Structure formats: C-alpha cells, structure tokens
Amino acid sequence: MTNVSSDTRPSPAVRTLRHDASARPFLVIWECTRACPLACRHCRAEAQLQRQPGELAIDEAADLAGQVASFGNPPPLFVITGGDPFARDDIFEIVRAAKEKGLAVAVSPSGTSALTAARELGLRVQINTTISRHNLRDLPTIVKLVALRGVMTWSAFFLVPTGRGRQLEIPRSCHRRGRPQLRLRRR
C-alpha cells in the first residue's frame, strides 16, 4: 500500500544541502590572480595592476580543478576570483578545464568590469557589496542600482579588515552586542 499525502504546503524557501557538509566543502573559492585594474579601498587581495609570476599556469589550474572535483558528488561549486580573473588571458581556458572536470564554475570579477558582458550573454549575475563607513549612506542608491541591473543575487558583506581594508572600519551603527548587523527597510 502506498501512502499518499494530501499535504499541499508550499516547499520551504530555504534549500536543504544535498550532501554532508562535514564530509566535503560546499564551495571552493580560488583567488587566481591579484591583477586588477581597480584599487578598491576594501580589497582583501591588495590587488595590483600586473599579474604575478607565481600564479598557477593553465595545467596547474586544471589539476587544482581536478582536486576539487575529487571531493565527490556533488562536487563543490568552484568560484574563481581575484583581483579580477578577467585580467588573465587564459581565464576561459581555466573555466573550460574546470567544467571538463565536472565542476559548476562561477567567476567573480572586480567591480562592474564584466557586468554588461555577462548580462548580454544571458549569464546570471551576483553583486557583492562590502559595507564600511565610506558607503553606509549609499546603500539605498546601491539597492536601486542592483534592482535596475536585474541581477540574480545581491550580497552585502561587512568589511573584513585585511589587505587594504585594514585601514577602513565597520560602522559602529551596524554593531549590536559586539557583532556586525544590518537591517534594510523598504520605503
């Protein structure tokens, strides 16, 4: 006898992990270069204009992707960041190699360097914003810009004081019981 449920409740808004997070990572983030045309105040990578000689070559990057894929199924999401990954002339080869290893790949460029191109290609776009005292009052404008750009996800991050970000600080108005906190209200 088969049990049929008449429960018609909507599925939960929060997704459930499909693998044991204690057995393997859900996400692997690789900073493939420090090269970047921008000099953001909050940059943890302390990005610079030129690529460095110690960066992984394409064969080493493919090997890294293979190691990430070897974590098992489902493999972690492989996020390639920097600096700006598009400062590498071999970024498309790296993405291709990672996809051939069976990985889902995301590329996280700097600023808006690839936003228009990504949208024109029909790619889903996520915008990350680092919040510090320098842009706290700009958040309503940032929210409007994100909405106008039609991005998939907007993530607001509190400053991690590393790299150039050591010289910035988290706004005191965002603290509650010693921890950063942010509340946005709709108008």
pLDDT tens digits for the chain (187 residues)? 444 444 555 555 555 656 677 888 889 999 999 898 887 766 666 678 899 999 999 999 999 999 999 998 889 999 998 888 889 999 999 999 999 999 999 888 776 666 777 777 777 777 788 887 778 888 899 889 888 887 778 888 777 666 666 666 655 555 455 444 444 444 4
Rg (CA), the chain: 20
User: In degrees, to the nearest 5, what angle opens at C-alpha 83 toward C-alphas 78 and 84?
Assistant: 75
Phi, psi of 141 (to 5 degrees): -70, -40
Angstrom distances, CA of residue 61 to CA of 31, 33, 85, 102: 11, 12, 13, 14
| pLDDT value of position 186 | 47
pLDDT in tens, 29-79: 999 998 988 877 666 666 788 999 999 999 999 999 999 999 988 899 999
Cβ(49)–Cβ(37) below 8 Å: yes
